Amino acid sequence: MTITPLKKFFVIFSAWALMLGSTVLLMPATRVAAADCDANAVIYCGVTDESSLINKYRQNQGGNLHAIYAHFGMPDESFLTGMTIGRVTKAGEVFVGDELVATNAATAGRQDMKGSTKIPGIQAYKRRPSVSFRSQSLPALVRMVDGKFHAAVIMSCGNPVSATPVYKPAPSPMPVPRPEPKPKHPSLSIQKDVRLKGTSTWQQEVSAQPGDELEYLIRIKNTGDTPLTNLIIRDILPSDVSFSGNKLRGSFFMQGNSLSDLTGSGARLDTLSIGSSLELIFTVQVGNAVDACDTPLINIATVASEEVRETSDNALARVCAEEEPSVEPVVVKPVKRPPVESSPSLPSTGVVGVAGAFSIVSVMGVITHKLKEFYKYLLR
């Protein structure tokens, strides 16, 4: 069979058409309806996800893709990771889900449009979305860093986006439950004791004689669970005693106080810590004419602070004058003398006879004996 040139052309054309059709059928299906495959797209036909964005970024389309992205805050591909899908609106807002994350958006394009600004040193232009957007919003890959907008890329064209982050007020921290403060229980104790000077035992009550010296002790202790402040300590002396010496002794931190302070406006202490105590000691002399045996002398001490109202204690001194010993009167009994017979040879001369003399000596002996006994009594 003879193949004419026309038939030969038809066969070649048919084979070519079949091959072309097969090639078209074998091409993978892609969604390009939403892509901007035009000269304005920074990445021709855009991107579909983070992986495709990185791949096309590496190709550096137009030789200036890296420079354009750097101008919008993405200087290398590490800034293209951690993307999430959001959207950029024509009004210049950036959303992730329903949350507004940025405003005042600006984007880029390779073609000049009215309202665009040339990016210095790069063949690209910067503009507001309202200049180039044909729809109200476009899907975008949005990069958030620590919850704050960093940059975005419009998926349909690969155009980068910069914007002003919306600063969300930090949520108020949950209040940390604090244990309710336990109520304070301030308290103190005061103890007043006395002793005869020269003795060692402090007592609540002593016996003394007029002219004796007594030592008084005031003990104060913080028995509460909080420090005590502005303590004022006073002492009320009985009218029948007076200070012996002018020194107030006791705790070293009370040395700035005097006896006149103690009996006047009060000895003072700024702070007495929990469990701490103080002591004050002073000496008095009992008057020589004091008689306080049945009703003792009472010495009162008081203390008060900012936290505790005034409280007091006292010490007693019974002053009993020693009674003088009673002296029994000496009774001289008369001695009955026998009658004296007159002697004719001895005239009466008025001189007492021997018997009379003996009687006088006996009486004098009794008197002398009694006087000796009385003298011994006085020397006891």
Residue with tokens 């009658």: 339
Please give the angle made by the CA atoms of 25, 26 and 31, to the nearest 5 degrees: 80
Can you give the pLDDT of all 380 residues of the chain as single tens digits?
A: 455 554 554 444 454 444 434 333 333 333 334 577 999 999 999 999 999 999 999 999 889 999 999 999 999 999 999 999 999 999 999 999 999 999 999 999 999 999 999 999 999 999 999 999 999 999 999 999 999 999 999 999 999 999 999 987 777 888 888 888 888 899 999 999 999 999 999 999 999 999 999 999 999 999 999 999 999 999 999 888 999 887 899 998 898 899 999 999 999 999 999 999 999 999 999 998 888 888 899 999 999 999 999 999 999 999 998 765 555 665 556 555 565 554 454 444 444 454 454 455 555 665 666 666 665 555 55
Please give the torsion angle defined by the CA atoms of residues 237, 242, 245 and 246, in that order, rounded to the nearest 10 degrees: 50
Q: CB of 235 within 8 A of CB of 207?
A: no
List the alpha helices (DSSP H) in the chain. 5-26, 50-59, 65-71, 129-132, 259-263, 354-378
- The string of DSSP letters for 7-22 reads HHHHHHHHHHHHHHHH
Could you give all domains of the chain from N- to C-terminal order, each with its CATH number?
Answer: 50-165 (no CATH), 188-319 (2.60.40.740)
Rg (CA), the chain: 62
Nearest Cα residue to 107 out of 86, 95, 121, 93: 93
Provide the whole-model pTM: 0.43
Residue with tokens 């959303």: 95
Residue with tokens 């001194």: 317
Instruction: Tell how strand 267-272 and strand 205-208 pair up.
Output: unpaired
Between the alpha carbon of residue 359 and those of residues 18, 165, 273, 330, 353, the distances in Å are 192, 144, 88, 17, 10
